[in-house]
């Protein structure tokens, strides 16, 4: 049987009868009875998790399929999820955390069951028009909610291109990377309370800055407001305080990923960050995309990461391919009519992979909990058109970029809308993340 692309619809009954037990949720031959547009980020092979709020109803978990959201509360009430073994109350929660309490096995069983219910040959939901109408919401008819009650939030600094660019600009082009960088995934503890959902605008932050050449700091709206193109992963329940998660175990503790824009006020950052690192330049907001794509859905898109030189310590060594081929892009729309792509990067460029990040994070006995979030750090590629921040794209503002309406930008202007998008594609299957989009409002 060919593994390239979905089967002809006429052959479906034969195909499913033949390999019912072999079909996995990621199989590129799977087709859903829900119509999925060809360019959709959400085919049956994806099934990312989010929290929807249908009109007049309480927020509840859902998975995305094409242009629709499948309501897990409705399915659970109909008894269709009983065999999964997750408590029914988890399907009525306003965040995904209760669903995640059962760990990888429970999430995997749930995704498998949802895949079964959505397959072209499964008539349980397909032919029950009353239940189907209640369970399938068009995405335009539901509000999205922040999917996770985020506990602790950590931001890494794991792109060697980004770290090299920043080190070159601010320190020494000949010693751009600090001595620790190739030996451990550098990170800092951020703030979870100000992580917001795509669509929620932000106000330009105010703060303290030291203008070039001045001898005293000034206070006011930040002038150098920037983006950071990142991805963030969400953890499942970890181990008790004092225990460590090894690199080999790490992916069992990762639920999935979303797009993440780590807003940064560069002028505030430059003055405040010495010696303890980012503070108010970062914690005013970070924006998250609404659907969490499971690590399982990304399995077909594994690739090798950059070679790590010199060799890392034993506890950071890993087997196999631990990076993922996720195409990413950043666009800026200055006026609602000229959305302009300003960068194209890829998650595969990460020098430190997620398994190493989580292993390093817990090697001292630090515990992680269901719903902790760990962001990658700015994901820059090797060329200027793949840099993940305006700081790098415009090289500290020395090379302004031109938007579709002819306006120039060194950093963000009030009224700009920034959108990050990401997807994987292979064998005719596209697994996407949707987008995280945010408008910049003037300082309050
Ligand atoms: Mn960051």
- Domain of 359: which CATH number? 3.90.850.10
Distance from residue 145's CA to the centre of ligand 1 (Å): 23
d(C-alpha 442, C-alpha 266), whole Å:
17
Confidence of residue 23 (pLDDT cuts 50, 70, 90): low
Quick check: is 108 in a domain? yes
List the domain range (segments joined by +) for residue 101: 7-145
In this structure, the answer to whether residues 340 and 241 fall within a common structural domain is yes
Whole-angstrom Cα distance, residue 286 to residue 196? 6
Residue at which a domain ends, from 92, 126, 145: 145
Distance 354 CA to ligand 1 centre (A): 15
Asked if pLDDT for residue 7 goes beyond 70, the answer is: no
pLDDT of amino acid 5: 44
What average pLDDT score do residues 237-250 get?
Answer: 98
DSSP collapsed to 3 states, 414-439: CCCEEEEEEEEEECCEEEEEEEEEEE
Q: 418-437: per-residue pLDDT in tens?
A: 999 999 999 899 999 999 99
Q: What are the C-alpha distances in Å from 82 to residues 110, 153, 158, 363?
A: 10, 33, 41, 37
20 & 158 share domain: no
Q: Is the pLDDT of residue 73 over 50?
A: yes
Q: Are residues 171 and 286 in the same domain?
A: yes
- Which percentage of the chain shows pLDDT scores above 90? 93
Residues 370 and 396 in one domain: yes
Residue 127 within any structural domain of the chain: yes
| Distances 233 to 278, 288, 435 between C-alpha atoms, Å | 20, 11, 15
Are both 124 and 210 inside the same structural domain? no
Confidence at 336, pLDDT banded by 50, 70, 90: very high
Residues 128, 251, single domain; the answer is no
The confidence score (pLDDT) of residue 71 equals 98
196 with 289, same domain? yes
Q: What is the pLDDT of residues 170-207, one digit of tens each?
A: 889 999 999 999 999 999 999 999 999 999 999 999 99
The tens digit of pLDDT for each residue in 221-234 reads 999 999 999 999 99
- Point out the domain boundary residue: 86, 121, 145: 145
The pLDDT score that the predictor gives to residue 6 is: 45
- Given the DSSP bridges, would you call strands 373-375 and 153-156 parallel, antiparallel or unpaired? parallel
Average pLDDT over residues 405-416: 98
The predicted-structure confidence for 99-134, as pLDDT tens digits, reads as follows 999 999 999 999 999 999 999 999 999 999 999 999
The whole-number pLDDT of residue 24 equals 82
Active site residue 162: yes
Active-site residue, from 68, 137, 138, 162: 162
Which spans in 119-245 are helix H?
123-126, 129-135, 160-170
- Residue 230 CA to ligand 1 center (angstroms) comes to 7
User: Does a structural domain hold residue 1?
Assistant: no
Q: Give the lowest-confidence range in 12-16, 123-127, 135-139.
A: 12-16
What's the pLDDT tens digit per position in 158-174? 999 999 999 999 889 99
| pLDDT at position 12 | 52
Task: Please give the tally of structural domains in the chain.
Answer: 2
Share of the chain above pLDDT 70, in %: 95
Asked whether residue 341 falls in the same domain as residue 235, the answer is yes
- From the CA of 285, how far away is ligand 1's center (Å)? 11
Ligand 1 centroid – CA 358 distance (Å): 17
Residue 68 C-alpha to ligand 1 middle, in angstroms? 32
CA of 166 to the centre of ligand 1 (A): 12
For residues 273-299, average pLDDT: 96
How far does residue 357's CA lie from ligand 1's centre (Å)? 14
User: Among the three residues 145, 161, 180, which one is the final residue of a domain in this structure?
Assistant: 145
- How many angstroms separate the alpha carbon of residue 378 from the centre of ligand 1? 5
pLDDT band at 151 (very low <50, low <70, confident <90, very high): very high
Ligand 1 center from residue 161 Cα (angstroms): 14
Instruction: Indicate the average pLDDT of the chain.
Output: 94
Q: How far does the chain reach from its first CA to its final CA, in angstroms?
A: 61
Does residue 358 share a domain with residue 279?
A: yes
- State whether 74 and 114 are in the same domain: yes
Residue 229 counted as domain residue: yes
Any domain includes 2: no
**Same domain membership, residue 126 and residue 18:** yes
Q: Does residue 288 form part of some domain?
A: yes
Distance 334 CA to ligand 1 centre (A): 23
The CATH code of the domain that includes 116 is 2.30.30.230
Pair (331, 236) in one structural domain: yes
Residue 137 predicted with pLDDT over 50 = yes
What's the confidence (pLDDT) of residue 31?
Answer: 96
Look at 85 and 52; give whichever has higher pLDDT.
Answer: 52
Q: Model pTM?
A: 0.94
- Taking residue 171's Cβ as centre, other Cβ atoms within 10 Å add up to 12
Asked if residue 11 has pLDDT above 60, the reply is: no
Average pLDDT over residues 243-272: 98
* 303 phi, psi to nearest 5 deg: -145, 165
Q: What's the token pair of residue 413?
A: 């202007």
């Amino acid at each position: 049987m060919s593994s390239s692309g979905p089967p002809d619809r006429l052959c479906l009954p034969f195909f499913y009868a033949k390999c019912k037990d072999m079909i996995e949720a990621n199989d590129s031959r799977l087709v859903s009875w829900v119509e999925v547009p060809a360019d959709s980020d959400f085919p049956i092979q994806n099934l990312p998790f989010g929290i929807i709020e249908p009109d007049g109803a309480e927020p509840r978990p859902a998975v995305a399929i094409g242009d629709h959201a499948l309501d897990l509360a409705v399915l659970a009430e109909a008894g269709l999820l009983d065999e999964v073994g997750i408590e029914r109350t988890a399907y009525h929660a306003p965040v995904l955390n209760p669903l995640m309490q059962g760990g990888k096995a429970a999430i995997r069983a749930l995704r498998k069951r949802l895949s079964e219910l959505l397959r072209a040959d499964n008539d349980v939901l397909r032919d029950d028009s009353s239940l189907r109408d209640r369970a399938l919401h068009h995405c335009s008819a539901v509000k999205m909610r922040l999917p996770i009650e985020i506990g602790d939030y950590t931001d890494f600094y794991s792109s060697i291109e980004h770290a090299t660019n920043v080190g070159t600009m601010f320190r020494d082009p000949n010693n751009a990377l600090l001595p620790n960088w190739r030996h451990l995934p550098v990170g800092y503890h951020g703030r979870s309370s100000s992580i917001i959902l795509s669509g929620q605008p932000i106000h330009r932050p105010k703060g303290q800055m030291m203008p070039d050449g001045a001898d005293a700091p000034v206070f006011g709206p930040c002038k150098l407001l920037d983006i950071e193109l990142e991805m963030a992963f969400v953890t499942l329940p970890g181990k008790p305080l004092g225990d460590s998660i090894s690199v080999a175990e790490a992916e069992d503790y990762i639920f999935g990923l979303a797009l993440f824009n780590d807003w940064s006020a560069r002028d505030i950052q430059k003055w405040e960050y010495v010696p303890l690192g980012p503070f108010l330049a970062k914690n005013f907001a970070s924006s998250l995309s609404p659907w969490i794509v499971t690590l399982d859905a990304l399995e077909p898109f594994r690739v090798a990461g950059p070679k790590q030189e010199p060799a890392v310590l034993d506890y950071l060594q890993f087997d196999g391919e631990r990076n993922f081929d996720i195409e990413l892009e950043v666009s800026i729309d200055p006026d609602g009519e000229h959305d302009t792509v300003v960068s194209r990067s890829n998650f595969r460029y990460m020098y430190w992979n997620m398994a190493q990040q989580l292993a390093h994070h817990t090697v001292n006995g630090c515990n992680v909990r269901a719903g902790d979030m760990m962001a990658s750090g700015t994901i820059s590629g090797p060329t200027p058109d793949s840099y993940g921040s305006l700081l790098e794209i415009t090289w500290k503002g020395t090379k302004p970029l031109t938007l579709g309406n002819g306006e120039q930008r060194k950093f963000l202007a009030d009224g700009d809308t920034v959108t990050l998008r990401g997807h994987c594609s292979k064998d005719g299957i596209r697994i996407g993340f949707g987008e995280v989009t945010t408008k910049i409002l003037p300082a309050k």
